[in-house]
Chains A and B, each alone.
Chain A
Amino acid sequence: MSERTIIRSGESATTTTAGALPLRVRSRWTRILLSRDAVMFYALIAVVVYAYTQVPYFASTQTVGFLLLDVIPILLIAMPMALVIITGEIDLSVASTVGLTSAVMGVLFQAGVPIGLVLVLCLLLGTFLGAFNGFLVTTLGLPSLAVTIGTLALYRGFALVVIGDNAVANFPQELTRFSTSKLGDTGIPVVMLLVLVVALFFGVLLHFTPFGRALFALGFNKEAAAFVGIRVGRAKFWLFVSTGLVSSLAGIFWTLRYSSARSDNATGIELAVIAAVLLGGVSIFGGKGSIPGVIIGVLLIGTINYTLRLARFSDVVLSIVTGALLIASVVAPSIAEWARGRLHARRTTRLELQKAAAQ
């Protein structure tokens, strides 16, 4: 008889059996080099190298610029979203928050409010929208999936009420130009610095603070987390506030980048964000995931899509690739697990047979 225990946080499964099986102990470095994040990183490098050498026009600073500008909103929102999903919740209202921020920004600016004040009010709005989600989920105890489907409709609805069919386009040129400006000759957008700050903030928060460790605990088992003194409700509330705030930041960027405030801005990107986060190794059950993994996930989807577009594949293939990657990324571990189980079973039976033969 054998009994297996699987350590969830690490990728290697330790096996203990009644028969003396040789235990494979991997060194720290091999573990890091074989981890899921690392494999995703190799895939990203492979795609970039392939595109760089094989796809015409990929190897240019312009490409880098457009690619990064395209992924910035998703990358921004993916950071807090990763934390939310790690605690076992979800926020589907992010794209609507982007849209409402954009609409409010346009209307306020058109009404003659100074742009500085407009930006501050937009960020406050995002914070408030996130707090409303947080209130419904933590104080009233409603399921976040249903709540944020509701606020997805509600916030997008408000965006329509605020701005209707109109579009506001005459934002100050300094700002619109700034939103697409590049760092010197590198082609990297200046805004990436902001994204870096956000990513660093959430990365440090998740991986190097007690709060972050608590989030993993929360995702594993809410009751247990509450018992060891984690304030479950409060932690989740602030996570929803952070998705709201970062989404409004993305909304401001979106509006300035396309120089257009419309109610339907960013419609549907919530699914793209969630797809990227899950591809980045965050478990939808909660309790598992990392910020570097999510960044790689977003860049991988972004690069593949951009490469395909450059290589003149139609948008058709893009969505098939996104979907297939997503499914492959979640099904692959199950298949690996199954294969490992089969291998393990075969090894134990062989060992038992040897033992029986020896006796």
Chain B
Amino acid sequence: MQTQTPPRSTSKQISRFLRSREIPVASALIVLVVVTATINPLFLTPQGVKDLLLNATIVVILAIGQAVVIITRNVDLSVGSILGLVAFGTGTLFAVYPGIPIILVFLIGMAFGAVLGAVNGLLVTIAKVPALVITLGTLYIYRGLNNAWAGGTQYFAGDRPRAFSNLSTDTIFGFPLITLLAVVVVVGVAVVLAYTRAGRDLYAIGSDPAAARLFGIPVTRRVLGAFVASGVLAGLAAVLYASRFNAVGATTGTGLELDVVAAAVVGGVAIFGGSGTVVGAAIGALLLTTITSALTALRVDKFWQQAIVGVLIIAAISVDRLVSLNRARKLRVSEARNV
């Protein structure tokens, strides 16, 4: 057998970087922004960029929570309903206790989200029922609870302290505060997934749940954790939603779930688990929300927006499929050589 000379590490790193799953979606985003900005320079004014980032923030946070769940070969369809419940809860908190510290509201919102996520996780892991069914059920139940609680009541931005609303208007170096918060969250979750034991376990579970169990990975605990994480992030997104948007009520966040799953899929998170990153999911969310603004800037009929989102999703999974087929072929060839 011939020993292979190891390739130089820098070129290896570069080629690995170029083959990473985030590259196609990131390049699509860059092309979109560059083309739009060339045609309509107003697109990249400070105010334009700020709006772009603000619109993306909430979907980005939801998408990384979704990515964590999808990586374990599950899915959480109830995120839109969780967001609605927690957002209304936030409105209620400020209405009932006007002087409540903002940080406390964030903590309560995230804890509330965690409880709702834990219900999903417990049902999925203990009853051993597919997450698609359970979270479809809790999508209806949480939305129903939200309706029952809110009724016709809506809370408006005027009911909330100025400092809270300022979170989504104040900027540091042109970046809105809540977007910076989202970036911190993305980096945090990315580090956990890439470098911790628990994070790597999630990938193992998603690749092959049975093998993961045999290997001694606490599958139940990890999957439960993933759902709780998704709930916490949905809770965080909900509090930010209450800060960003004027009204929160019974229908807040309806129909968000499929957008969020779409963002994760566009970002290269494989729907059957085991691969993908939260950075990819975040870029996917950014891409999907940027399309809306870009179309407006390009004066394309706004009705085209959703069709383009559809094309993007299909393109993303097709590219993913091609890449994995290619990789499988290369693996076969290299294995055949080694034999």
Contacts and interface: CB of A to CB of B under 8 A. Distances in A.
Interface of A: 90, 92, 136, 140-143, 145-147, 149-158, 160-161, 164, 267-268, 271, 274-275, 278, 284-285, 314-324, 326-327, 330-331, 334-335
Nearest to A324: B141
A149 B265 contact: yes
A318 B307 CA distance: 32
A154 to B, nearest CB: 3
A149 B140 contact: no
B297 interface: no
Nearest to A155: B310
Interface stretch (B47-55, B127-135, B163-171): B127-135
A30 B324 CA distance: 50
Given A152-B258, A153-B262, A157-B306, A320 B140 contact: yes
Nearest to B325: A141
Nearest to A96: B310
B261 A149 contact: yes
Nearest to A335: B127
A352 to B, nearest CB: 28
Interface of B: 75, 77, 123, 127-130, 132-134, 136-145, 147-148, 151, 255, 258, 261-262, 265, 271-272, 301, 303-314, 317-318, 321
17 contacts: A142-B314, A142-B321, A146-B313, A150-B311, A150-B317, A153-B262, A157-B303, A157-B308, A274-B136, A275-B136, A284-B132, A284-B133, A285-B130, A316-B147, A320-B141, A327-B133, A327-B141
Contact of A320 (B129, B145, B309, B313): B145
A326 B136 CA distance: 8
B140 A323 contact: yes
B303 A327 contact: no
B141 A150 contact: no
Contact of A154 (B132, B138, B144, B311): B311
Given A153-B309, A319-B140, A326 B133 contact: yes
Given A147-B314, A278-B133, A327-B123, A153 B306 contact: yes
A271 B303 CA distance: 24
A314 B138 contact: no
B301 A319 contact: no
A155 B142 CA distance: 28
B147 A146 contact: no
A157 B147 contact: no
A314 B147 contact: yes
A305 B129 CA distance: 25
Contact of A330 (B127, B255, B310): B127
A153 B313 contact: yes
A158 B307 contact: yes
Given A334-B127, A334-B128, A151 B140 contact: no
B314 A326 contact: no
A285 B123 CA distance: 17
Given A154-B311, A326-B133, A327-B137, A142 B144 contact: no
A147 B318 CA distance: 9
Contacts of A322: 140
A149 B139 CA distance: 17
A70 B139 CA distance: 22
Contacts of B148: 314, 316-317, 320
Contacts of B258: 92, 149, 152-153
A107 to B, nearest CB: 13
B314 A330 contact: no
Contacts of B147: 314-316, 319
A150 B262 contact: yes
A143 B271 contact: yes
A334 B129 contact: yes
A285 B130 CA distance: 8
A319 B138 CA distance: 10
Given A150-B262, A164-B301, A285-B130, 11 more contacts: A90-B132, A143-B271, A143-B317, A146-B317, A153-B258, A154-B307, A157-B308, A161-B307, A321-B144, A331-B123, A331-B129
Nearest to B78: A323
A316 B144 contact: yes
B123 to A, nearest CB: 7
Contacts of B143: 319
Contacts of B151: 316
Given A154-B310, A157-B306, A323-B138, A331 B127 contact: yes
Nearest to A331: B127
Nearest to A141: B321
Nearest to B126: A334
A149 B130 contact: no
Contacts of A318: 144
B144 A153 contact: no
A330 B134 contact: yes
Contacts of B255: 267-268
A157 B317 contact: no
A32 to B, nearest CB: 25
Contacts of B133: 278, 284, 326-327, 330
